[in-house]
A and B are shown apart, each in its own frame.
Chain A
């Protein structure tokens, strides 16, 4: 199995700005203000979806099937497993929250969404590697 570094770089390059704007929201907001931060967030989301659409559009049929398999089995099972294992694995994600007295509903929601996203990403990557490993 050979890795398509161009696609990998393309995906990371589109995801990085989005993560940057979301994770460093306080720092960015304090410099440019909330309106510009919101515009940056919208731009990062649009960039991510445009890059993702282009990436998906370039896939051939085997790679497309690998994506479907990985999302269904990897993403799906990891989602279920992640929810079941929530009490065991939630610790590191809860540490992302500010001190309890300052915790806002958005921060709690964000930590939960991030936990699910990480679970699904791990499941996806494992299933994707297994699919290709069995066929090359």
Chain B
């Protein structure tokens, strides 16, 4: 499964929380570059990172990451 096969709602969820990419990055212990890459669908996160991102928003992985198509 390539990067184009997974969509995510990180940008929308960040906007709802009023968080910057740097703020989310700090909460999940990665760099802002990594969050940017994940958010733009250019990099598929590992399962642990996907869980950490979902946890940061108080959601499940399925609420944040969606199968494209």
How many B residues face the partner with a CB closer than 8 A? 15
B31 touching A135, Cβ below 8 Å: no
Main secondary structure of the interface of A (DSSP, over half): loop
A3 to B29, CA, bound (A): 17
Closest to B42 in A: A135
A135, B32: Cβ atoms closer than 8 Å = no
Given contacts A61-B46, A62-B43, contact A135 B37 (CB under 8 A): yes
Can you name the residue of chain A whose Cβ is closest to the Cβ of B25?
A60
Which residues in B have some Cβ–Cβ distance to A below 8 Å?
29-34, 36-38, 40, 42-43, 45-46, 49
Residues of B within 8 A of A4 (CB): 31
> Would you list which residues of chain A between 73 and 102 have a CB under 8 Å from chain B?
none
Query: B34 and A62: CB pair below 8 A?
Result: yes
Contact (Cβ within 8 A) B31 A62: yes
Which chain A residues lie closer than 8 Å to B40 at the CB level? Answer: 135-136
Chain A interfacial positions (CB closer than 8 Å to B): 1-2, 4, 60-63, 65, 132, 134-136
Contacts of A135 in B (CB 8 A): 33, 36-37, 40, 42-43
Q: What are 20 contact pairs spanning A and B, CB under 8 A?
A: A1-B33, A2-B32, A4-B31, A60-B34, A60-B49, A61-B45, A61-B46, A61-B49, A62-B30, A62-B31, A62-B34, A62-B38, A63-B33, A63-B34, A65-B43, A135-B33, A135-B36, A135-B37, A135-B40, A136-B40
Contact (Cβ within 8 A) B29 A62: no
Chain A residue numbers with a CB within 8 Å of B29 are 60
Cross-chain contact B31 with A61 (CB below 8 angstroms): no
- By the criterion CB–CB under 8 Å, are B30 and A61 in contact? yes
